[in-house]
Homo-oligomer: A and B are copies of this chain.
Amino acid sequence: MAHTSSTHWVRELTLERTAISGSSTAARVAGVLRNYVTEGRLLPGTRLSEEDLGEALGVSRNTLREAFRLLTHERLLVHRFHRGVFVRTLAVEDVRDLYGFRRVVECSSLRRAAQAPAGALDRVRAAVEEGEAAARRSAWPEVGTANMHFHQAIVGLAGSVRLDDAASHVLAEQRLVFHVMAAPRAFHEAYLAENRHICDLLFDGRAEEAAAALERYLDEAERQLVEALTADG
């Protein structure tokens, strides 16, 4: 029986069994777990028991393992042989790596904004406004989500779905480390004005300045996260 400790969060898991749905069961299970991880309800280091989870979600071990594999490929989970799967724990070098990726991809995408596909620029502005609106409502988790949309929209300026895809994985992984910030509100809030500034430069056709601003922005965010990581762990 479930003697293991991690029974709290398992209990509240549910899987939408509605309709036939185009996607597979494993994909839906992966979606549920992905939300739990990115929303911080499943913390890094937690072990995901095949038996407990399978029972809670009402799926077989084989399908559950399929969902695990999907999330392992996205780097949200890690698989240790004969020991199980765990929510990924990011180290300092992982954070540096993530920002190295983002500096290359996001800044370069900004510089190419002049050749951006139709509608891509508008999605950048929409993400900025989404964040500002959420801040006015004091909905801080949504501010964080809007911030992710902003950066995803910047990558979208390059017009490559493969680049969008790689960026979305990196941004999801990024959420594994946001929870170390003691004051997430202040952390995300500070970047609202930065996003607006970059957006305005972009619509002014000053792509090079926008890219430079974003680079300073990413440097600062990396510095803050590394500091928080080394402080407590």
Residue positions of A touching B, CB distance < 8 A: 22-24, 62, 65-66, 69-70, 73, 75, 81, 97-98, 100-101, 103-105, 107-109, 112, 158-163, 166, 170
Contact = CB atoms under 8 A, between A and B. Distances in A.
Taking the full assembly, how many copies of this chain does it contain? 2
Contacts of A66: 65, 69
Given A24-B81, A81-B22, A163 B104 contact: yes
Contacts of A23: 81
A6 B97 CA distance: 43
A158 B160 CA distance: 20
Contacts of A108: 104-105, 107-108
15 contacts: A23-B81, A24-B81, A66-B69, A69-B73, A73-B73, A97-B162, A98-B160, A100-B158, A100-B160, A100-B162, A100-B163, A101-B160, A101-B162, A104-B112, A166-B166
A170 B164 CA distance: 13
A159 B97 CA distance: 8
A121 to B, nearest CB: 16
A162 B168 CA distance: 12
Given A75-B162, A100-B160, A105-B108, 8 more contacts: A98-B160, A98-B162, A103-B158, A104-B108, A104-B112, A104-B160, A107-B108, A162-B170
